[in-house]
Every structure is written in C-alpha cells, then in structure tokens.
C-alpha cells in the first residue's frame, strides 16, 4: 500500500475537485491522475499569440501548463515591477483557466531556463548578500517579489477555484534544503497557494524531507556538454527501463563538483517529472539534432519505468526578450559555460518558436491520448522488470522491456530505440509475464520480430466495457469512448508487428479479421489495420467495439469534444475544438479532416464534398495558398568569419561578438504585402550556408540562428506591418574552422562548406492558414 498523509501537500478540505498526493501517485477529484505537463514561457511569446498557442498545446494532449517567472524580467530595475503586456502573468493564467488548462508556476527566484543570470536581475550583483541561501539580506529582496507575484495571481489558486495546482520554488539547487523550505514558507506567507509544492530533484539534490515533491527529468541530448562527437554516456540511461529516477547530467555544467548524496527517498514520493526533453536548445559550441523518435522513446521509457507525471521542457519554443536593458539569454558574458542565441529559444520543441507543428507533436499526442484514457489504471501500477535485464548502459543487444501491473491487469512497455547508436532487430520474441494476481500470460501467441527503432506499450487484461475484457493485445491502446451507444476501444498496430488480440473463448467476433481458437482463447489477427478495421465483439453480458488503426492513422488521431459530443478526428494538421467550432492550422500538402461519429455536414471556407474513409467520414479541405515570394538581393557578398574564441566558465567556443556582424555577408529581403494577407502564420523559410545568421528589421535584431542543419524559419505575423514597410536584412557569417563546434554527423559536410561561404541560398514564404468549421446535423456513425 502507498504511504499517505505524510506529505504536507494536497487541497484543503472542501476544495472542489481536490488534488491529493500519496507516495505512489496524484489524484484529482477522487480519481488517480497522470498529468501531462508542457512548458511554455508566457513572457517569451507575444501576448496576442497566447490563446492560439495554448489551444494548440491543449490539442497535443497537455492538461497542465508549466511556466517560469523570470525575476529579471519582472523587476529589471530594483523596486519597479512590470506585469504588463507580454509580462502579464495574470492575463496568461486567466486564459489558461478559460481553456481548461491547469497551471504550474515556477516562481524562482533563480530559475535558469537559459535566461541571463538564471533570471536574477543584474542589480542583485551589487547587493551585499549571499543569493540562493537563507541570508536575511537576500530573503529581504525575495519577499517583496513573492508578494507581488501573489498579488498578480490572487483568486487564481486552486483553492479559489482557479487553475494553479502546482508551485515550484528555485531550480537545480542541490545543497540548501533549509533554503528550499524557507522559500515555500515565504511564498505561502505571501499568499501563494497550491496543493502541490515542488522542487527539482536531479543531481542527488538534498530536498527537505516531506516538504516538497521532487521532480525529475531526462534529455535525449545536451547543449551543455562539450563539443565532442556522440553523446554523454550517462544519457543512455533514459532509454533503459529502471527504477532510478535521478539524472546527474542535467545542469552538470553549473555544478562545481559531482553529486555525492543519495537524493530524495523514492519510497516516500511518486515518480514525477518536469523536464523530459521535448527537444534541445542550440548553443554556439554544441548544436545537436533531435529527431522525434528520440523524444517519444524517452517519454515512453519513463512511463514504463514508473512515471506518474509526464512533464516536458520545452513543449513550445519561444523567443528571448530583446526589450530589456541587456540581452536576456545565457551567455559567456555573464560567466555561464554556454553561449546561446540572443533571440531564438526554439528548442526543437514539439511546437516551435512560432508555433510550427513538428513530428514530435503528433507522436507525443498518441501517448497522451493513452494517458488520458488509461492513466487512472496505470498510475496504481508499479514497475516490474524482467529476470534478464541489460548488463550495462553499453548493452545494445539485450531487448529492453518492462511491465507495470497491479492485480490481473498490466501494460507491457518495450523500447528498441536510442539516439546516435542504432539498436538491432530482435527475432523470435515472445514475452512471458506473471501478474501480481499470479496469472501468467505469454504475449503474443506466436514469436514476432521487434524492429529496430520500435517503442510501444501493449495491454494485458484491458477492460473493453460491456463486461468484455481483452486478455492481451499485440497492438497499442490509444483511447476509448462511446459511439452509437456502444463502448469503442481504439488500438494502433505496432509498426512491423502483426496486430493480434486475445479474448475469452465465448466472445463472438464480427469484422475484417482472421479468428482462431486455441487453448480456450479466441485469437484475432487484423491483417489490414486502418479506418475500416472495426470489430464488433459480443459476449455473454453485452457488445463492444474495437477499432485497430494503422500506425500512420494513429499519428493523425485526435479525440475531442466538439459539436456537442466526444469524437475521433483524423487530420495531418493540428486540429482543435474552440467552442462550437472545429479549427485547423493547415500545413500539409493534401489537407482533410475525418470524424467519427460524423455530423451530416461540415461548413466552412474551402470544405469539399464528404467521402467515406472506412468508418470515418472525410472532408477534403483547401490547400494553403501559394504566396507571392520575397525578393532576395545580395547587398554584400564578401564576409569575414568571426575569429575563434573561447569563454565562459568552461572555455568553450564563443559566439560572434557584435562587431563581428559588421563583417558579415548582407542580404535584403523585400516581402510583398499580399504575402501577409489573412490571419494565419506566414513562415519565412531560409536556406543558408554559414556558421551563424541574424535577421534585422529596421535596424532591430528580431531573429537569429546558429546553423545546425534544418532550414531557418521566422514567423512574420508578429512583425507583419513593419516587414512590409522595411523588409528584412539578413546577415550571415562564415565559420572559422579553428572554432570547436559540434554538429550532427549527418549535416557536417554542409557545415564544413561554411568555411568558405556565407550566403542565403533561397528564401520562401510559406502560408499556414487557419480554417474554422461548424457542423450541421448528425450523420453517418
């Protein structure tokens, strides 16, 4: 049984929809809850864009929004507070509440987040105090800041009916447990309230016992490593199933010595995370590429290892503020080990700096649908590891798998992917699982090949509704809902593995599948998973349905309440419900939307005639318009590379200085006004050769780029009027080969070409139009 009542956390008695926590999991409104938390920094995004981006974040399956408050942005001048415009945390949190997103505020005072001084104001350096300690002089500066935060957030705390359910104090503080406890006490005395109080627990952090909930993390790459090839060995751990929660790699560049403690007692706290890598930032000296599979396999492995709180950093990229007295990014100039871009903080996140939808967005959403449907069951299930585990972090030959189970039910997790080093196919695989009830299950019925790169979860003892039970499946649970009065379970075939299901012998199967009987079990093989693979199951107590989608369809699947009921929605584009409308941002080549159950018609601009798509009804949509293209002029072709320099506490390669940009190649872009018609985003997509590039608008720096392979994208909507009036100036610097800079091996030849060339090779405007649809009547089910 989990420990309960020992943590000073949870909602006060009488709070509607109370949030509680024990040593195993969280609960909300009496039901176990696995939060899906995505980080998005309100102060690093124009306020005019918040609502649209929050809708997209929610569409990705996020139900808890995390955000930092950076002290140096809100009190840049001592004693003068700013919470207006893009710094309006109250407006942001209120908007989250309107969109039914819970909120976790990370209030610092020291935050990191690749912010200048970790978020400390410059003026703090001139005060005689010891920051990040219980020095009374330091606490006297923190207290009024906390009081002002409390004032801004009054009435928005969970106990007041607001969305704020969690507060994090400090960040990556390893050896000051008394100070962490003091910060919580001070925040509460200031009026800040939340059922969950947290602190980062990685690096064997010394957290005050039973006071704060430790949160963990893990990244697929690390910009804070040196510019060596490959990746840090310890980061391999994130791709193995293990009860070890800690990560000594995060923030290692800011520690003076390796961790020596044991960290929080895992027996007393649920396994919670706040920084699972949604991507990775680019530093000047280290510029990793992070494919979607590196992100999704890490997230799935953490789930399989026992996580009951999936928190991503970052989930939505953003831009550093450039309206303060000094640059606001982490840099060598302020003594930090790494030079980051002055503006961009895109992070290769599922949603980019300008809201670009990345492959990881769709792939993670599939996991999040699973958590929203089955999280309450999963949260009560501890980790069980097989008898034969990988021998070490260097073992790439042993298949990695684990089971989370309780009673007669469980979920089998498999990960056969990790970055940089390809894992092999595994032939003849059949898993033997003994459940806590004592029942033994062999999955699947016949041995299969587990392909390289595969990572998935299979169910054991899954409730299908109507008294029916799935004994096991060689297919992945995605979501469930009721359609036409019958429970519908949606599964997804695992790529490269036959989709098989096992049910009781007395269950009748109707639908496109092969049915066999063996050892008192009905075995179902779905040979063509997809939108037509709908099975009707009839048992002694009733009927239920199972839809087995292909992996490609599952990546496009959404579940939402729209037009008055819960529906499945398929689209290649981001799609979300907004009141009584279904809305999309169109970026695909052949856009469409398919619904189950389907209304009689969809009404909106560019909607075509409906067609059947298996059990769905599909409506084709108009493609994004082809925009008039910008005019690219070369102003100065000659360029001189910034000389190789090192700096910061680790003497790593430094970014070009301001004076170096005077010797860059210069290009001018003229953008036609008609290219910015409409209300959707317009991306300027630049293909460059060079080491680093900057974009200026009427002499003002608005975007920058350390080259790492992908095209450079700049969202123009926020600058639309000025871009049309002034155009953009693009400056590109070649690279000095003496500078020690890491880029992925797959793009290294193009990077090497930047030694002799700095150029904008091409420039294109790409429309991302918004489509709004309404429904008329109910139609085909």
3-state SS track over 368-435 = HHHHHHHHHHHCCCCEECCCCCCCCCCCCCCCEEEEEEECCEEEEEEECCCCCCCCCCEEEEEEEEEC
Nearest-CA neighbor of 80 among 350, 324, 406?
324
Which of left, alpha, beta for 342 (phi over 0: left; psi -120 to 50: alpha)?
alpha
Please give the Cα distance from 756 to 174 (Å, whole number): 46
**231 band by pLDDT with thresholds 50, 70 and 90:** confident
With respect to residue 621, please indicate whether it lies within any of the assigned structural domains: yes
Which of left, alpha, beta for 608 (phi over 0: left; psi -120 to 50: alpha)?
beta
Assign 508 to helix, strand or coil.
strand
User: Phi, psi at residue 753, to the nearest 5°?
Assistant: -65, -20
Instruction: Please compute the mean of the pLDDT values over residues 61-79 and round it to a whole number.
Output: 98
Please give the Cα distance from 54 to 40 (Å, whole number): 9
Assign 590 to helix, strand or coil.
coil
**How many domains is the chain partitioned into structurally?**
4
**259 band by pLDDT with thresholds 50, 70 and 90:** confident
pLDDT over threshold 90, residue 518: no
Q: Output the pLDDT for position 780.
A: 46
With respect to residue 126, please indicate whether it lies within any of the assigned structural domains: yes
Rg (C-alpha) for the chain, rounded Å, is: 26
405 with 462, same domain?
yes
Nearest-CA neighbor of 707 among 777, 759, 658?
759
Tokens of 340: 């980051």
pLDDT over threshold 50, residue 672: yes
Residue 126 has what DSSP assignment? G
Please give the Cα distance from 314 to 274 (Å, whole number): 10
Does this model's pTM top 0.85? My answer is yes
Domain that holds residue 620: 557-625+771-778
- Beta partners for 521? 504, 518
523 with 565, same domain?
no
pLDDT over threshold 80, residue 531: yes
Q: Output the pLDDT for position 569.
A: 98
With respect to residue 549, please indicate whether it lies within any of the assigned structural domains: no
Nearest-CA neighbor of 139 among 184, 73, 172?
184
673 with 576, same domain?
no
pLDDT over threshold 50, residue 621: yes
Tokens of 422: 């390809």
Nearest-CA neighbor of 704 among 741, 682, 729?
729
Lowest mean pLDDT, pick from 186-190, 229-233, 433-437, 700-704: 229-233
Torsion of CA 773, 357, 711, 697, to 10 degrees: 70
- With a CB cutoff of 8 Å and minimum separation 6, the contacts of 675 are 627, 628, 629, 630, 682, 765
With respect to residue 8, please indicate whether it lies within any of the assigned structural domains: no
Q: Model confidence over 477-495: pLDDT tens digits?
A: 999 999 999 999 999 999 9
Residue 656 has what DSSP assignment? P
With respect to residue 105, please indicate whether it lies within any of the assigned structural domains: yes
Q: Model confidence over 154-167: pLDDT tens digits?
A: 999 999 999 999 99
Specify the higher pLDDT residue, 245 or 781: 245
Q: Model confidence over 497-512: pLDDT tens digits?
A: 999 999 999 999 999 9
With respect to residue 3, please indicate whether it lies within any of the assigned structural domains: no
Q: Output the pLDDT for position 257.
A: 77
User: What are the distances in angstroms from CA 677 to CA 210, 242, 276, 674, 703?
Assistant: 56, 52, 38, 5, 22
pLDDT over threshold 50, residue 103: yes
Q: Output the pLDDT for position 73.
A: 98
**520 band by pLDDT with thresholds 50, 70 and 90:** confident
Please give the Cα distance from 152 to 733 (Å, whole number): 44
CB 182 within 8 A of CB 209: no
Please give the Cα distance from 321 to 70 (Å, whole number): 11
For position 492, which CATH number holds?
2.102.20.10
Say how many C-beta atoms besides its own lie within 10 A of residue 37's C-beta.
25
Quote the strand ranges of 212-306, DSSP E.
213-218, 273-277, 286-287
Q: What percentage of the chain exceeds 70 in pLDDT?
A: 99
Q: Output the pLDDT for position 778.
A: 62
Dihedral sign (CA 376, 382, 383, 384): negative
Q: Output the pLDDT for position 288.
A: 97
Q: Output the pLDDT for position 781.
A: 43
161 with 251, same domain?
yes
Nearest-CA neighbor of 418 among 549, 254, 234, 575?
234
CB 627 within 8 A of CB 682: yes
Q: Model confidence over 331-371: pLDDT tens digits?
A: 999 999 999 999 999 999 999 999 999 999 999 999 999 99
Torsion of CA 678, 683, 684, 686, to 10 degrees: -160
Q: Where a domain ends, among 479, 512, 542?
A: 542
Q: Model confidence over 119-157: pLDDT tens digits?
A: 999 999 999 999 999 999 999 999 999 999 999 999 999
Q: What percentage of the chain exceeds 90 in pLDDT?
A: 96
230 with 358, same domain?
yes
288 with 372, same domain?
yes
With respect to residue 253, please indicate whether it lies within any of the assigned structural domains: yes
Please give the Cα distance from 42 to 437 (Å, whole number): 48
588 with 733, same domain?
no
With respect to residue 385, please indicate whether it lies within any of the assigned structural domains: no
341 with 437, same domain?
no
Q: Output the pLDDT for position 699.
A: 97
Q: Where a domain ends, among 314, 346, 376?
A: 376
Please give the Cα distance from 460 to 501 (Å, whole number): 10
pLDDT over threshold 80, residue 777: no
Please give the Cα distance from 48 to 99 (Å, whole number): 15
Secondary element (H or E) of residue 476: strand 475-483
Secondary element (H or E) of residue 777: strand 770-778
For position 662, which CATH number holds?
2.60.120
Instruction: Please compute the mean of the pLDDT values over residues 47-52 and round it to a whole number.
Output: 98
Lowest mean pLDDT, pick from 42-56, 244-258, 470-484, 550-564: 244-258
Residue 717 has what DSSP assignment? G
Instruction: Please compute the mean of the pLDDT values over residues 264-289 and round it to a whole number.
Output: 97
Instruction: Please compute the mean of the pLDDT values over residues 590-608 and round it to a whole number.
Output: 97
205 with 318, same domain?
yes
465 with 367, same domain?
no
CB 404 within 8 A of CB 308: no
Nearest-CA neighbor of 386 among 373, 404, 372, 367?
404
CA angle, 358 as apex, 352 and 360 as ends, to 5°? 115
Specify the higher pLDDT residue, 84 or 248: 84
User: Phi, psi at residue 580, to the nearest 5°?
Assistant: -95, 20
pLDDT over threshold 60, residue 779: no
Q: Chain-wide mean pLDDT for the chain?
A: 96
- With a CB cutoff of 8 Å and minimum separation 6, the contacts of 659 are none
669 with 744, same domain?
yes
142 with 81, same domain?
yes
- With a CB cutoff of 8 Å and minimum separation 6, the contacts of 721 are none
CB 383 within 8 A of CB 304: yes
Q: Where a domain ends, among 503, 518, 542?
A: 542
Instruction: Please compute the mean of the pLDDT values over residues 619-644 and round it to a whole number.
Output: 96
Please give the Cα distance from 593 to 515 (Å, whole number): 32
Residue 80 has what DSSP assignment? B
């Amino acid at each position: 049984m989990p420990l309960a009542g020992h943590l000073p956390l949870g909602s006060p008695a009488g709070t509607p929809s109370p949030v509680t926590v024990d040593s195993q999991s969280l609960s909300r409104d009496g039901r176990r809850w696995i939060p899906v938390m995505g980080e998005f920094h309100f102060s690093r995004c124009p306020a005019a864009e918040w609502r649209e981006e929050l809708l997209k974040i929610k569409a990705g399956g996020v139900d808890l929004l995390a955000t930092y408050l950076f002290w140096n942005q809100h009190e840049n001048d001592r004693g003068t507070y700013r919470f207006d415009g893009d710094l309006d945390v109250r407006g942001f949190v209120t908007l989250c509440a309107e969109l039914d997103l819970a909120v976790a505020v990370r209030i610092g005072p020291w935050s990191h987040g690749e912010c200048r001084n970790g978020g400390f104001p410059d003026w703090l350096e001139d005060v005689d105090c010891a920051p990040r300690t219980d020095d009374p002089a330091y606490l006297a500066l923190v207290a009024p800041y906390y009081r002002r935060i409390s004032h801004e957030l009054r009435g928005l705390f969970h106990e007041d009916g607001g969305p704020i359910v969690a507060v994090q104090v400090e960040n990556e503080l390893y050896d000051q447990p008394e100070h962490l406890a003091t910060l919580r006490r001070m925040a509460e005395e200031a009026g800040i309230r939340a059922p969950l109080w947290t602190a980062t627990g990685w690096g064997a952090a010394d957290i005050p016992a039973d006071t704060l909930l430790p949160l963990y993390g893990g990244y697929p790459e690390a910009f804070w490593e040196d510019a060596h090839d490959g990746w840090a060995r310890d980061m391999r751990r994130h791709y193995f199933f293990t009860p070890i929660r800690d990560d000594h790699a995060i923030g290692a560049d800011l520690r003076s010595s390796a961790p020596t403690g044991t960290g929080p007692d895992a027996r007393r706290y649920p396994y919670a995370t706040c920084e699972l890598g949604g991507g990775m930032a680019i530093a000047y000296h280290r510029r990793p590429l992070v494919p979607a599979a590196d992100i999704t396999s890490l997230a799935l492995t953490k789930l399989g290892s026992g996580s009951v709180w999936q928190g991503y950093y970052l989930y939505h990229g953003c831009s550093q503020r450039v309206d303060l007295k000094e640059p606001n990014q982490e840099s060598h100039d302020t003594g930090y080990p790494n030079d980051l871009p002055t503006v961009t903080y895109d992070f290769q996140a599922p949603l980019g700096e300008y809201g670009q939808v990345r492959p990881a967005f769709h792939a993670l959403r599939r996991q999040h649908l699973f958590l929203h449907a089955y999280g309450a069951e999963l949260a009560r299930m501890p980790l069980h590891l097989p008898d034969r585990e990988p021998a070490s972090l260097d073992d790439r030959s042993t298949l990695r798998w684990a089971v989370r189970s309780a009673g007669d039910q469980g979920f089998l997790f498999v990960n056969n992917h990790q970055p940089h080093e390809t894992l092999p196919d595994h032939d003849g695989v059949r898993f033997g699982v003994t459940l806590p009830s004592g029942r033994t299950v062999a999955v699947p019925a016949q041995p299969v090949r587990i392909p390289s790169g595969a990572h998935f979860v299979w169910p054991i003892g899954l409730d299908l509704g109507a008294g029916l039970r799935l004994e096991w499946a060689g297919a992945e649970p995605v979501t469930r809902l009721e359609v036409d009065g019958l429970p519908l379970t949606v599964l997804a075939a695992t790529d490269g593995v036959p989709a098989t299901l096992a049910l009781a012998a007395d269950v009748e199967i109707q639908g496109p599948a092969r049915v066999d009987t063996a050892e008192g079990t009905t075995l179902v093989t779905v040979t063509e998973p997809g939108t037509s693979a709908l099975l009707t199951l009839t048992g002694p107590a009733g009927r239920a349905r199972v839809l087995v989608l292909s992996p490609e369809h599952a990546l496009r699947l959404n579940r939402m309440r729209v037009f008055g009921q819960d529906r499945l929605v398929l689209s290649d584009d981001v799609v979300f419900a907004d009141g009584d409308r279904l809305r999309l941002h169109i970026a695909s080549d052949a856009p469409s939307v398919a619904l189950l159950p389907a209304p009689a018609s969809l009404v909106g601009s560019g909607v075509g005639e409906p067609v059947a798509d298996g059990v769905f009804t599909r409506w084709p949509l108009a493609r994004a318009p082809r925009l008039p293209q910008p005019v690219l002029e070369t102003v100065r072709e000659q360029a001189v590379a910034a000389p190789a320099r090192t700096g910061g506490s680790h003497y790593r390669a430094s970014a070009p200085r301001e004076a170096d940009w005077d010797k860059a190649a210069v290009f001018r872009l003229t953008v036609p006004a008609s290219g910015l018609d409409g209300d959707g985003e317009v991306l300027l997509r630049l293909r460059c050769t060079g080491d680093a590039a900057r974009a200026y608008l009427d002499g003002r720096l608005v975007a920058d780029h350390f080259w790492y392979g992908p095209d450079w994208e700049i969202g123009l909507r926020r600058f639309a009027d000025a871009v049309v009036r002034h155009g953009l100036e693009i400056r590109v610097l070649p690279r000095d080969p003496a500078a020690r800079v890491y880029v992925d091996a797959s793009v290294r030849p193009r990077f090497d070409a930047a030694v002799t060339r700095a150029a904008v090779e091409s420039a294109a405007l790409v429309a991302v139009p918004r489509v709004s649809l309404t429904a008329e009547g109910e139609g085909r089910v």
